[in-house]
Amino acid sequence: MTAGIVWQRRRAAAVGVWREFAAKKGGLAGLGVLAVIVVLALLAPLITDQAGLDVVHAPGKPLRPPSGEFPLGTDIDGRSVLLLTLWGARISLLVGFSATVLSVCIGTIAGIAAAHFGGWVSGVLLRFTDFFLVLPSLVLAIALSSVLPQGVATIILAIGVTSWPTTARLVRAQTLTIESCPYIERSKALGGGHLHIVGKHVLPGVLPLVLANTTLVVGNSIIAESTLSFLGLGDPAVVSWGSMLQRALTSGAVTGGAWWYLLPPGLAIVVVVLCFTLVGRALETVVNPRLKGERG
Amino acid sequence: MSLLELKDLGVTYRVGDEEVPAVRGVDLRLEPGETLGIAGESGSGKSTVAMSVLRLLPKSARVSGEILLDGEDVMTMRWGRLRAVRWAEASVVFQGAMHVLNPVHRIGAQIAEPIRLHAAEPPGETEVKARVTELLEQVDLPVSRAGAYPHELSGGQKQRVMIAMALACRPRLIIADEPTTALDVIVQAQVLDLMSRLVAERHLGLIMISHDLSVLAATCARIAVMYQGEVVERGPGGEIMGSPRHSHTRALAAAFPTVGDPASRFAPATSEPLPPEPERASGAEVLLAAEDLRVTFRDRKGVRIDAVAGVNLEVRRGEIVALVGQSGSGKTTLARTLLALQKPTSGSVRYAGAPVPTSGAGLTAYRRQVQLVLQDPASALNPRHTVYEAVAEGPRIHRLPGDEREIVKAALEAAELRPAERFLSRLPHELSGGQRQRVVIAGALALRPGVLVADEPVASLDASVRGEILGLLLRLRRELGLAGLVITHDLGLAWNIADRVAVMYRGRLVEVGTVEEVLLDPEHEYTKSLLAALPAGVGAK
Amino acid sequence: MSEALAEFGADLTDPDERRGGTGTARFLLGKLGGAVGSLFFVVVLGFLLFRMIPGDPVATMTREKPFDPGQMAQLRERFGVDKPLFRQFLDYLGGIVRGDLGSSYAYNRPVADLIAERFWPTVFLVGTATVLAIVLGLWLGVRAAWRRDSAFDRMHTGISLTLWSVPQFWLGLLLLIATQGLFPSGGMRSPDTPPGFFPEVLDVAHHLVLPCVTLLAVLYAQYMLVMRSSLLGEMNAEYLTTARAKGLRDDLVRRRHAVPNALLPTVTLIFLQFGLVVSGTVTVEAVFSWPGLGYLTYQALRVPDLPLLQGVFVVLAGSVIVMNLIAEVLYRVLDPRVRAR
């Protein structure tokens, strides 16, 4: 019965958040498009033939404009650009999501710790966060991925450990807001310890904002992945949107005017990132009462 | 011709697709030089009336009826005319001067702004400066403060700036919206003094809005009481205070008991009967005690601040002690230290004779015995937790034996939320202010504590709820023998429910004694000035 | 009664409110100390990044290239990595103090010289783009916020959100294709420009257009969004009601009260996020072969030239920290609200 009350309340709250979210057309559209893209990326091995990715046995002639056989033309090796874009989604989304999980976890822990424990712990963490917040994260990520062995894992690590400070800042601010609420004082007076206060009050209060922030971080991570790959820091053996663009530049496709090689991966990035941004902003408006009515 | 006349004023706000009425059929009239107070609780529509006079309502508001300022209808004015009328004919002293002054402009410039704006021809720099100086002098502010930014001023000084600004264009009408609400009693008395003096000297019309009848009675000749958007009673100030006719006016008046009036001693305005005073042996056991307690802070410049400077205080079983003082006197720090939420610099806190441990299981055990009730029940409850979770939080932390649900229900019943079942699954925002405060009290009672420390328990509640919560505290003391330490700036509250009073000033207790001793026959100058600052009609004898 | 009131009312100022505008020296020292600490940390980070992970920098540099053990040993000696780590660190630190950032592996020249050569083109490009982006972004942001939910607002918020989602280098590539031949595809000067002041200026400007527009597009979008939400937040402020009640016209309320108050934190935020601008420069310069630090990074990555990368990292990170210091100090000078804190 007790669990029943809590469960009922949670479900009602979730339904409420969904209703508010669904009222925002931009966010809903973004979510829909994202769902389609994720499903397509997951189904890529089932609906396409992986053999088409093989450089040596490429089916077409190099750098051909769109035709009936290759709706989006072919790349420098004669592979179908459509096929590459579809498979590229897998790596780009994988890196985007994994790097985000890493970044958001570090950021949330650092943020809560910096706000909850006062004194020197918080001081040191705050300085540390500020330091990394100021550093140009891409430059740091470039440095990291240039010294670590090339590969998808390196890219994930490089993005993850350089992009956490924004989350940390946000979580810290929100934690401070919550901890300044009298109900934290009341909880302490009731005898609650650190674990109780963080677990029962701070974390549940911070998580909605973290969730909204996460969708924004995914978008940034996907752009960062494409940038690092474009600079030649990715794994040359796997296809991602960034590595496609890199090959487009180095193979002279740009000066040759091969727009069909350039547009699909780039547009894919823009669409996915825009969708994440729209979802994130809509969620932020729903979960952050301060923003209510401030954003269109 | 009347200075201001409201005829059948109605205001509705559009919320979503609904039209919510805020003000209905209000007729008011103010002659030049007259003073009128509008009283009411939050949501009574009193501020909406004030803002409608200068058409300052938000876009979602719809106004019907007539607002005649000097015989001219404000509602049909063109924008140019309206802008000329604003501030030159009627000006506003807003509530909470903290946010109504632009934080990045110097106050001199903010006072000068309407002077330049409404001058017939552009005034010279020296002229404007002279006028600003004159205005600052009128509100008793040093002229040098013209160069200050709002954040460099105290609350009372900001309110004076606001008044100087309101006088800048020599208007004939001033509308003051809760001008003293966030201020301390003594500062409040000073600001009210100032306003009354200026209004009388300059023969100004004044409309003052407040939830506090005593403030209005002290400043205004006539009072209109608003309730749910309508004027329910109007008349001379003394009459409204002395013999209110409408039940709502009675509730408002009872919230500010006359200190020294035997009728209101141990008799807060509550609808349920109070149990009789239990037989108590004199010299009951001391539960909570502070011994030479000191708490010292350092501000950012490293200056030492003695928030609590050597305090000795005892709270015995079955008594309520009121700790009285203004903000900054250290009373909240003292309370936090007694609850072991703040470490004392020196001295000790004792509970039932034994010193209170500063950490570990001993501290947790102590926290079962002494419970906290906070000022604002809206923020003292986690907005995501149901009433059940909020009340069960304490028993869960202390792993109380027994059925949790029964404990919660019993605590809610004890806090007079009946039937308890109905409230279990509610969230704080679905409750009224008074109900929320009862939930906070229930959360404390669930641990069966010996002492309740309540920090301004009714300060943010509406006047009509105030009596009910105070009645509950008194009943808990009489029925359960629960001791209470009530921190307040409100001497009327002490007169209503407390057995003893401790007056705190600059970190020290300057006077401690029974309520009758301290409030009727004060010894210390500070206590005397606190009593003197009570608005006329409420002061002692 | 009044004397008693005066006596006890005098010190009613909340201690928090009494703190005035003093302590500027303290603030400056604190910020300066913090910046120096950050700079030192950057230097240490640069050292650790390029020496510790994952062990042998020479092996990283020579990966995928045929080197015999003798050559490797020679390289180790040249870069000083055969010495103990602490010794290396001291050498490195001493070098930085003297302005010596080591020697580039690919160019066979001092890193400091290379960076000095490439520094000003980057400043020129970033400076032009940032100034234009701030002007454009703030102006659009103010207009969009003031007419919230108008067609203007919707259109520009939409454009900004889209531009914000575009990888800069891709936008650059698109512009290259779209303007095929209209602007030079790379570099900062053409070799065949006739000598003389005006032809040279025109030539540089001609080269500047595409990289500048690319950088500008993404930056202004971000600034516009920040300005818009900052002004929207400010528009709920109660002092705007005071201003209206005083009889100010709507556009005066906006110009005199709302915009300045929203502008200060926005501009500061822009400069505090200078790291984003620097990150953007790397890819834009790479696309347009603009001879700046970003392109230098790109070239160093091809090799990979670790001493050069390390030098560029320290210089880029260091300049961001200096920009930050300037922004924070200026903010305090300009905005009285900050002095209160």
ipTM, two decimals, is: 0.84
Alpha carbon of B380: minimum distance to chain A alpha carbons (Å): 4
What backbone phi and psi angles, to 5 degrees, belong to B101? -100, 140
| The predicted structure's pLDDT at residue C3 | 41
| The predicted structure's pLDDT at residue C77 | 72
Q: What is the 3-state secondary structure (H, E, C) of chain A?
A: CHHHHHHHHHHHHHHHHHHHHHCCHHHHHHHHHHHHHHHHHHHHHHHCCHHHHCCCCCCCCCCCCCCCCCCCCECCCCCEHHHHHHHHHHHHHHHHHHHHHHHHHHHHHHHHHHHHCCHHHHHHHHHHHHHHHHCCHHHHHHHHHHHCCCCHHHHHHHHHHHCHHHHHHHHHHHHHHHHCCHHHHHHHHCCCCHHHHHHHHHHHHHHHHHHHHHHHHHHHHHHHHHHHHHCCCCCCCCCCHHHHHHHHHHCCCCCCCCHHHHHHHHHHHHHHHHHHHHHHHHHHHHHCHHHCCCCC
CB atoms C247 and B189 under 8 Å:
no
Which residue did the predictor score with more confidence, A5 or C205?
C205
Of C38, C165, C288, C325, which to mutate for an interface test with A (greatest number of A Cβ within 10 Å)? C165
| The predicted structure's pLDDT at residue A5 | 66
Rounded CA-CA distance B405/B393 in Å is 12
| The predicted structure's pLDDT at residue B304 | 82
Q: Is A249 on the interface with C (CB under 8 A)?
A: yes
Q: Is A243 on the interface with C (CB under 8 A)?
A: no
User: Taking phi first (over 0 means left), then psi (-120 to 50 degrees means alpha), and beta for anything else, what does residue A252 get?
Assistant: left
Which domains does chain A possess? 26-40+78-288 (1.10.3720.10)
Q: What average pLDDT score do residues B84-98 get?
A: 85
Please report how the helices B387-397 and A2-22 are oriented relative to each other, as an axis angle in degrees rounded to 10: 130
b/e per residue, B233-243, with b = 16+ CB within 10 A? bbbebeebbee
Rounded CA-CA distance C225/C153 in Å is 11
Of B186, B194, B331, which to mutate for an interface test with C (greatest number of C Cβ within 10 Å)? B186
Residue B126 predicted with pLDDT over 80:
yes
Q: Which residue of C has its CA nearest to B96?
A: C238
Which residue did the predictor score with more confidence, B447 or C26?
B447
- pTM of the shown model: 0.82
Rounded CA-CA distance C283/C295 in Å is 8
Q: How would residue B480 be classed by pLDDT, with cut points 50, 70 and 90?
A: confident
Which residue did the predictor score with more confidence, B11 or A8?
B11
* Average pLDDT along chain A: 85
SS3 B28: strand
Rounded CA-CA distance B178/B192 in Å is 11
Question: Which tokens belong to C311?
Answer: 């030098």
Sequence-separated (6 or more) residues with CB below 8 Å from residue B115: B123, B128, B131, B132, B168, B169
Alpha carbon of C17: minimum distance to chain B alpha carbons (Å): 6
CB atoms C14 and B153 under 8 Å:
no
Q: What average pLDDT score do residues B94-107 get?
A: 82
What backbone phi and psi angles, to 5 degrees, belong to B369? -85, -35
Q: Hey, which of A132-136, B361-365, C125-129 has the most confident mean pLDDT? A: C125-129
Segment (H or E) for B12 = strand B4-15
CB atoms B427 and A9 under 8 Å:
yes
| The predicted structure's pLDDT at residue A3 | 59
Residue B19 predicted with pLDDT over 90:
no
What backbone phi and psi angles, to 5 degrees, belong to B295? -130, 125
* Average pLDDT along chain C: 82
Structural contact between residues B194 and B167, judged by C-beta atoms closer than 8 angstroms: no
Pairs from A65-74 (Cβ < 8 Å, separation ≥ 24): A65/A258, A65/A260, A66/A260, A72/A260, A72/A264, A73/A258, A73/A260, A73/A261
Mean pLDDT lowest among A66-70, B67-71, C25-29, C218-222: A66-70
Q: Which of C8, C245, C337 sits opposite B529 (nearest CB)?
A: C8
pLDDT in tens, B131-140: 999 999 988 8
Q: What average pLDDT score do residues B252-264 get?
A: 81
| Type of residue numbered B208 | M
CB atoms A182 and B368 under 8 Å:
no
Alpha carbon of A204: minimum distance to chain C alpha carbons (Å): 26
SS3 B446: coil
| The predicted structure's pLDDT at residue C199 | 85
Rounded CA-CA distance A261/A254 in Å is 9
| The predicted structure's pLDDT at residue C4 | 40
Q: What average pLDDT score do residues A182-196 get?
A: 90
What backbone phi and psi angles, to 5 degrees, belong to B506? 50, 45
**To which residue do tokens 């993005």 refer?**
A159
CB atoms C169 and A134 under 8 Å:
no
Rounded CA-CA distance A152/A229 in Å is 10
| The predicted structure's pLDDT at residue C59 | 67
| The predicted structure's pLDDT at residue A4 | 65
| The predicted structure's pLDDT at residue C19 | 41
CB atoms B149 and C242 under 8 Å:
no
**3-class SS shares of chain C: helix, strand, coil, % to 5:** 75, 0, 25
pLDDT in tens, B336-356: 999 988 889 999 999 988 898
pLDDT in tens, B144-177: 889 988 888 888 888 899 999 999 999 999 999 9
Which residue did the predictor score with more confidence, B501 or C279?
B501
Percent of chain C whose predicted confidence (pLDDT) is above 90: 25
pLDDT in tens, A77-133: 778 888 888 899 999 999 999 999 999 999 999 999 988 887 788 888 888 888 888
Q: Which residue of C has its CA nearest to A223?
A: C167
Q: Which of A136, A269, A270 sits opposite C316 (nearest CB)?
A: A136
Residue B178 predicted with pLDDT over 60:
yes
Percent of chain A whose predicted confidence (pLDDT) is above 70: 94
Residue A291 predicted with pLDDT over 80:
no
**To which residue do tokens 């294709």 refer?**
C177
Alpha carbon of C60: minimum distance to chain B alpha carbons (Å): 50
Across the B/C interface, how many CB contacts are shorter than 8 Å?
130
Pairs from C25-31 (Cβ < 8 Å, separation ≥ 24): C26/B301, C27/C332, C28/C329, C31/C325, C31/C328, C31/C329
Residue C193 predicted with pLDDT over 80:
no
Q: Please, where are the H alpha helices in C53-110? A: 57-61, 69-78, 85-97
b/e per residue, C291-300, with b = 16+ CB within 10 A? bbbbbbbbbb
Q: Which residue of B has its CA nearest to C25?
A: B301
Across the A/C interface, how many CB contacts are shorter than 8 Å?
141
| The predicted structure's pLDDT at residue C255 | 86
CB atoms C336 and B151 under 8 Å:
yes
pLDDT in tens, A225-271: 999 998 888 887 888 998 888 888 888 777 777 788 888 899 999 99
| The predicted structure's pLDDT at residue B273 | 79
Q: Is C264 on the interface with B (CB under 8 A)?
A: yes
CB atoms A5 and B427 under 8 Å:
no
Residue B541 predicted with pLDDT over 50:
no
Residue C1 predicted with pLDDT over 50:
no
In chain C, DSSP assigns E strands to none
Residues of B in contact with C244 (CB under 8 A): 56, 86
Sequence-separated (6 or more) residues with CB below 8 Å from residue C233: A294, C262
The neighbours of chain C, by the rule of 3 or more Cβ pairs under 8 Å, are A, B
CB atoms B104 and C261 under 8 Å:
yes
Of A17, A183, A184, A185, which to mutate for an interface test with B (greatest number of B Cβ within 10 Å)? A183
| The predicted structure's pLDDT at residue C2 | 41
pLDDT in tens, C126-152: 999 999 999 999 999 999 998 888 899
pLDDT in tens, B181-198: 778 888 888 888 888 998
Rounded CA-CA distance B517/B530 in Å is 15
Rounded CA-CA distance C180/C173 in Å is 10
Percent of chain B whose predicted confidence (pLDDT) is above 90: 43
Percent of chain B whose predicted confidence (pLDDT) is above 70: 97
Mean pLDDT lowest among A13-22, A32-41, B77-86, C64-73: C64-73
C-alpha dihedral over B181, B182, B185, B187, to 10 degrees? Answer: -110
Q: Which of A5, A186, A187 sits opposite B386 (nearest CB)?
A: A5
Sequence-separated (6 or more) residues with CB below 8 Å from residue B8: B25, B26, B27, B64, B65, B66
Rounded CA-CA distance A12/B139 in Å is 54
| The predicted structure's pLDDT at residue C224 | 93
pLDDT in tens, C291-300: 999 999 998 8
Of C39, C155, C279, C308, which to mutate for an interface test with A (greatest number of A Cβ within 10 Å)? C279
Q: What average pLDDT score do residues C269-287 get?
A: 85
| Type of residue numbered B347 | G
Per the DSSP assignment, residues forming a β-bridge with B208 are B37, B176
Across the A/B interface, how many CB contacts are shorter than 8 Å?
71
Residue C238 predicted with pLDDT over 50:
yes
Segment (H or E) for C11 = none
Q: What average pLDDT score do residues B280-296 get?
A: 83
Question: Which tokens belong to B69?
Answer: 């300022």
Residues of B in contact with C248 (CB under 8 A): 83, 113, 117
Residue B30 predicted with pLDDT over 90:
yes
Cα four-point dihedral sign A194, A199, A202, A206? positive
CA neighbor of A225 nearest in space, from A210, A245, A208, A211: A245
Residue A65 predicted with pLDDT over 80:
no
Strands B18-30, B4-15: pairing is antiparallel
| The predicted structure's pLDDT at residue C13 | 38
